[in-house]
Amino acid sequence: MKRIIVLGAGAVGSYYGALLSRKNDVLLVGRRPHIEAINSRGLILSGEVEGVFKVRGATEISEVPDGSLLLLTTKAHDSERAVASIRDRLGEGVVILVLQNGLGNEEVVRRVVGERAEVIRGLVTSGIEFREPGRIFVRKVGETILGRGGREEEIARIFNECGLETRLSEDMPREIWRKLVMNCVINPLTALLRVPDNEVAADSLRDLRRRIVEECVAVARAEGVNLDMGILEELEGVIPSYRNFSSMCQDIMRGKRTEIDFLNGKVVELGRRHGIETPVNEAMVSLIRFLEGRR
């Protein structure tokens, strides 16, 4: 992979681009204020990862050379537009790694690019916050999860060599749903309450967390994914250690559109398809959309 291009250099994209620039030719593509800050003084990471990374930035992509790895780290609802804008610039042998929250993201990308690129799904478990243009705060260093069967092993090697711990999973659908369930609990609750992730572990929210998970598990099973209520115990154990503000909470605080349609909204959509009622997830969607409407 001759070049790595990060399309959507926000918090997560900047973090990945910074670490990958240690041993690779990386281009960050993002909004002008952030890119100008990066090009003038470098990308500054603080928190669990410290350093100033001299990585190139641009506000648009002129070409995606043959053999490139493109990390798609835009918001899920921006995927189609972002990928459509570069579809005719994709070289031969390009791999697009979708590193986003939500369900069904890779299908959206495949529908746009067709046979022009190989599309792979990955999961991010790190907690990253965008502080200001050119500055990213790393709250929690997690792992990247990839499946098997394509170029995943090569990508995992590249990531691990740069300090991005990466694991290859034998059951990617279950991994995706597991992350989805956690996001369906943490993201809307933190966004509604404007608190860090660990605060939604409060006892007063226990029943609400359980009901969200129950609905998600029922829909996952209807989709043929082997998930059970053990995910709730896992969730209860890890939330207290998450001290970052979720991406949805950051979006609401900045007056931006959220990814609710790809999280709880997707559970509601699939629940209707299977005749499964999801009233609590529906409530989460309605409340977040209300806050989005006040932007």
Whole-angstrom distance, CA of residue 203 vs CA of residue 128 = 26
Name the residue type at position 263. Answer: L
SS3 256: coil
Whole-angstrom distance, CA of residue 228 vs CA of residue 217 = 6
Those residues whose C-beta lies under 8 Å from the C-beta of residue 239, and which sit 6 or more positions away, are 185, 186, 197, 198, 200, 201
Buried b (16+ CB within 10 A) or exposed e, 24-56: bebbbbbeeebbebbbeebbbbebebeeebebe
Nearest-10 crossing angle of helices 264-274, 206-222: 50
Buried b (16+ CB within 10 A) or exposed e, 105-126: bbebbbebbeebbebbbbbbbb
> 17 vs 14, 23, 258, CA distance in Å?
5, 11, 23
- Please pick, among 2, 54, 75, 179, the residue that the annotation labels catalytic: 179
Total Cβ atoms within 10 A of residue 294: 7
140 is catalytic: no
Order of strands across the sheet that contains 127-132: 51-53, 43-47, 135-140, 127-132
Q: Mind giving me the DSSP string for 104-123?
A: SHHHHHHHHHTTSSEEEEEE
Residue 294, Cα to own-chain centre: how many angstroms?
24
Q: Which residues are catalytic?
A: 179
